[in-house]
Amino acid sequence: MINKFTVSRDDSIYEAWPDLVLTESDRLICVFSECTHHKDRSYTRIVMCESTDRGRTWGGKEPLTDGTNGLPYWNLLFM
């Protein structure tokens, strides 16, 4: 059986393209894009959420970039 846990749900913005990493200190970090719509990237911002219990619960979104106006950001997670 696969358990599903919600990282973030914000019905006011499109959240997409997640990247996930498990750190050496057992924290999960999820980085993803917020944007206007799947095909409309006129507003884009990269955010992250963190879990300290292997993904069962997640903290709130923390912005990693400012929101753009017309220029998209693309999240690339480097280890």
Domain that holds residue 38: 14-63
Residue 7 in any domain: the answer is no
What tens digit of pLDDT does each residue of 6-20 get?
A: 999 999 999 999 999
The token pair that represents 47 in the structure block: 């955010």
Residue 2 in any domain: the answer is no
Residue 73 in any domain: the answer is no
Residue 51 in any domain: the answer is yes
What tens digit of pLDDT does each residue of 47-69 get?
A: 999 999 999 999 999 999 888 87
Instruction: Give pLDDT, residue 79.
Output: 40
Contact 30, 59 (CB under 8 A): no
Residue 21 in any domain: the answer is yes
Higher pLDDT, 42 or 55: 55
Instruction: Give pLDDT, residue 74.
Output: 64
Domain count, the chain: 1
The per-residue pLDDT of the chain, averaged, comes to 88
